[in-house]
Amino acid sequence: MSEASGTDRASASEPGGDGVPGAQPPSVNGVSEASGTDRASGTEDVLDVRKLTVDFDGFKAVNGVDLTFLQGRLHFLIGPNGAGKTTLVDALTGLVRGSGEAVFRDRDLLTMKSHKIVRHGIGRTFQTATVFERLSVLQNLDIAAGVHRRTITSIFARGKVPERVEEALETIGLTSLAHRQAGILAHGQKQWLEVGMLLVQDAKVMFLDETVAGMSAAEREETGDLLKRIVADRTIVVIEHDMEFMRRYADFVTVMHSGAVLAEGTVAEIQADEHVQQVYLGTVTEVAARA
């Protein structure tokens, strides 16, 4: 399961051309600029991180990081391997201990257990899709939605598909595959299912770890359009190495290096930053010298 909820963690392509499954999320290009407005409450959701440090026996994997994640903004977190990106998310989702402060809706995430962080509206995916492969798409979503139920009962025992599950199926474009075993979904479809599992949990902050890795160009486009469509009501943070995907879909970018924030800004600002070019992308001279 793709959520930090204590659940531990084969791709068959459907017809559709270019390795893209037949059932895809509808492409909706663009979304209005981040208004920071929660439509339900009329208030702004902000995850405010201050002086976040993760220390492994003296090695600071994350060192005094300050970050602000805003509702309605596709916030990309980039940097070389070992920069501290995933460790930072691990700390914010309760998988590793961190010091400092990370406040979301008046609660400090760094003081909470992982399952309580999930119930507080924070969700994540991992680099490898973590769906229940022997269960159907519908069952996967129903189990994920169970975080809001007081008792655990199967969808068959209840005899009714919850409205939030039906809505998620439509949003991720898998309605026609609701009864298909998750293990035989195409790679891109599994990633969309994970996003759907976060939607039914009503995650207001989503951390997505290399979601488009291994996808075809068409699948990456469908994924980017899906994220653009759902971001208005939540915060989405994407850990990514695909620079073309970042350039096309990011509203805001944070570059990490050696456990610290190296630079922040729009895509254009990050691309023009000399320190980013030297540390992360490499200068033209260095590239030419290695050729």
What domains does the chain contain, in order, with CATH numbers? 46-290 (3.40.50.300)
Q: H or E stretch including 60? A: strand 59-70
H-helix segments, 183-283: 187-200, 217-230, 243-249, 267-272, 274-276
pLDDT surpassing 50 at residue 138: yes
Of 289 and 161, the structure prediction assigns the larger pLDDT to: 161
Closest to 195 (Cα-Cα) out of 252, 141, 121? 141
Cα distance between residue 260 and residue 77, in whole Å: 12
**Where do we find the tokens 């257990």?**
113
Closest to 176 (Cα-Cα) out of 163, 189, 188? 189
Of 13 and 69, the structure prediction assigns the larger pLDDT to: 69
Cα distance between residue 171 and residue 26, in whole Å: 8
pLDDT surpassing 90 at residue 209: yes
Mean pLDDT in residue range 120-135: 90
The per-residue pLDDT of the chain, averaged, comes to 83
pLDDT surpassing 90 at residue 55: yes
* Tokens matching residue 37: 């407005």
pLDDT surpassing 80 at residue 7: no
pLDDT value of residue 148:
58
Cα distance between residue 268 and residue 290, in whole Å: 26
pLDDT surpassing 50 at residue 13: no
Per the DSSP assignment, residues forming a β-bridge with 260 are 257
pLDDT surpassing 80 at residue 33: no
Q: How far is CA 131 from CA 137, 181, 185, in A?
A: 9, 10, 10
pLDDT digits (tens, 9 = 90+) for 236-247: 999 999 999 999
- Using 50, 70 and 90 to split pLDDT, how confident is the model at 16? very low
**Proportion of the chain above pLDDT 70, given as a percent:** 77
* Tokens matching residue 128: 């490898």
pLDDT surpassing 80 at residue 227: yes
pLDDT digits (tens, 9 = 90+) for 148-195: 555 555 555 556 788 999 999 999 999 999 999 999 999 899 999 999
Cα distance between residue 220 and residue 210, in whole Å: 11
Cα distance between residue 2 and residue 87, in whole Å: 16
Cα distance between residue 137 and residue 80, in whole Å: 34
pLDDT value of residue 279:
78
- Using 50, 70 and 90 to split pLDDT, how confident is the model at 128? confident
Three-class DSSP category at 112:
coil
Cα distance between residue 83 and residue 78, in whole Å: 9
Of 278 and 40, the structure prediction assigns the larger pLDDT to: 278
Cα distance between residue 29 and residue 45, in whole Å: 24
